[in-house]
Amino acid sequence: MAESRGRVVAAATDGACSGNPGPGGWAALLRYEDGSVEEFGGHDGATTNNRMELKAALELLQRLSDLPRHPDLTLRTDSKYLIDGLGSWMKGWKRKGWKTAAGKPVLNQDLWQALDQARLTDVPLTYVKGHSGDPDNDRVDQIAVAYSRGLQPSLRQPGDGPAAAAASTSKVQSKAEPASAPEEAAPAPLVGLLSRLELADRLATGGYSLSLIELAQLVEQPLRQLESRSEPWRWRDWLVEPIGTDRWRLYRSEAGSEQT
């Protein structure tokens, strides 16, 4: 089954906590070459935000260890605590017997030690600013927050179609909203689309280039489908043009129409 989905091309994690310390939740997302998405997460009744960030990364890395991975895969996270811990602090902690520079025991040592064992040398961590319009980061944040509130979000699994994915997103948001939410609030799938369109506009205006994997995340099309493209093509209100090997750039188009 995993072979039919192809390699994992994108991964994201997030943690949340109501109270810090308090009830917490964590979430992880894997995006496969065929365009399918796998989401998973969990709840902890008494924890901290940092522990949930570490727990999410640990669960995702353990899951990834058994899966084929694209060489450009990175784990996207908005936790600098996670990135700094694995990237620079851990060497000093281990040298000092899991003590900080001040001689105090390292907090969350159990999770850090498990992460040290689970880390994958071919999967670096990439920082993404939280709530910045990144679709996968926004999604795992949504799931983690739902779990922290004691809710049971509906999660996407490989094989789910677009309708099921939209329903999962809508179900999480509707459960997390207070009962007094206005009836005229936009449907969750439309809110998610708006986030992607706003991100595309910023990318086009700034002249930023995208890798093929990043482009697949933005337009939500299978990587295999995009790999077959070599000429400029139109996605909604943007012209998508190749600018080199595995790099693409978006340009605003006056006459937008989606082509797949």
Question: How far is the C-alpha of 9 from the C-alpha of 35, rounded, in Å?
Answer: 9
> Which among 38, 53, 138, 214 is annotated as catalytic?
53
66 part of the active site: no
Which amino acid belongs to residue 166? A
- What is the distance, to the nearest Å, from the Cα of residue 81 to the centroid of all Cα atoms in its chain? 17
Long-range contacts of the stretch 151-156 (C-beta < 8 A, 24+): 151/175, 151/176, 153/41, 155/39, 155/40, 155/41, 156/37, 156/38, 156/39
> Which among 33, 38, 141, 160 is annotated as catalytic?
141
> Which among 14, 38, 44, 138 is annotated as catalytic?
14
Which amino acid belongs to residue 102? A
Question: How far is the C-alpha of 241 from the C-alpha of 249, rounded, in Å?
Answer: 5
> Which among 15, 24, 25, 133 is annotated as catalytic?
15
43 part of the active site: no
131 part of the active site: yes
138 part of the active site: no
15 part of the active site: yes
201 part of the active site: no
Instruction: Look up residue 250 and give its DSSP letter.
Output: E
> Which among 19, 84, 92, 131 is annotated as catalytic?
131
| Inter-residue contact 50 to 108 (CB < 8 Å) | yes
> Which among 39, 59, 78, 136 is annotated as catalytic?
78
**H or E stretch including 211?**
strand 209-211
**Residues with a known catalytic role:** 14-15, 53, 78, 131, 141
